[in-house]
């Protein structure tokens, strides 16, 4: 193999490894798109199934809820990367407030409030236990949005 060819391959390898590293860190735009998809498709997907049950317009449906929870987990799995330093702004519009990065403990607490409420909701086995657990989840969404999401 010629020296040039070896050099080229080494260069391509270096490029590939470099790309892998930047992918793991996630660009600001990807983080913004990722967190918005977690919110809209992930959390929103659960709301779509949960709200009709809460209103009495649909029966408690464990299978539909399980599918929505799985979708929520998938859409939100990179949660920590979605709010990494350097993702405050990108070229994509974001409603994330600076407080997320200045009040890290408050933001983590708001995230935990959701997690705890959602864990109880996911444990619901019938309409009564579901209806009892749901308000805390709604309150956790609202609690975080009030502090950490710009209104419009």
Backbone φ and ψ of 96, nearest 5°: -70, 130
Structure-token pair, residue 60: 């408690």
Contact yes or no for 22/10 (Cβ under 8 A): no
Q: Is 39 in the site for ligand HEC (CB under 6 A)?
A: yes
Distance CA 16, CA 35 (A): 26
Find the binder of ligand HEC among 26, 30, 34, 47 (CB under 6 A): 47
Angstrom CA distances, 19 to 11, 81, 111, 122, stand at 12, 16, 30, 38
Exactly one of 40, 48, 66, 89 binds ligand HEC (CB under 6 A); that residue is 40
134 is a site residue for ligand HEC (CB under 6 A): no
Among 120, 122, 131, 149, binds ligand HEC (CB under 6 A): 149
Minimum separation from the CB atom of position 66 to ligand HEC (A): 16
Q: Which of helix, strand or coil describes residue 146? A: helix
Give the binding site for ligand HEC (CB under 6 A): 32, 35-36, 39-40, 43-44, 47, 94-96, 107, 110-111, 114, 137, 140-141, 144-145, 148-149
């Amino acid at each position: 193999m010629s020296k040039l060819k070896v050099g080229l391959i080494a260069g391509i390898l270096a490029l590939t490894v470099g790309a892998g590293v930047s992918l793991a860190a996630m660009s600001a735009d990807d983080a913004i798109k990722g967190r918005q998809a977690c919110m809209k498709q992930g959390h929103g997907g659960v709301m779509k199934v949960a709200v009709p049950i809460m209103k009495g317009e649909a029966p408690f449906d464990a299978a539909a809820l399980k599918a929505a929870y799985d979708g929520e987990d998938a859409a939100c799995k990179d949660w920590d990367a979605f709010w990494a330093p350097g993702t405050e702004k990108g070229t994509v519009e974001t409603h994330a407030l600076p407080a997320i990065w200045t009040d890290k403990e408050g933001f983590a607490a708001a995230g935990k409030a959701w997690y705890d409420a959602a864990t109880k909701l996911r444990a619901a086995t019938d309409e009564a236990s579901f209806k009892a657990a749901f308000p805390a989840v709604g309150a956790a969404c609202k609690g975080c949005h009030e502090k950490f999401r710009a209104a419009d």
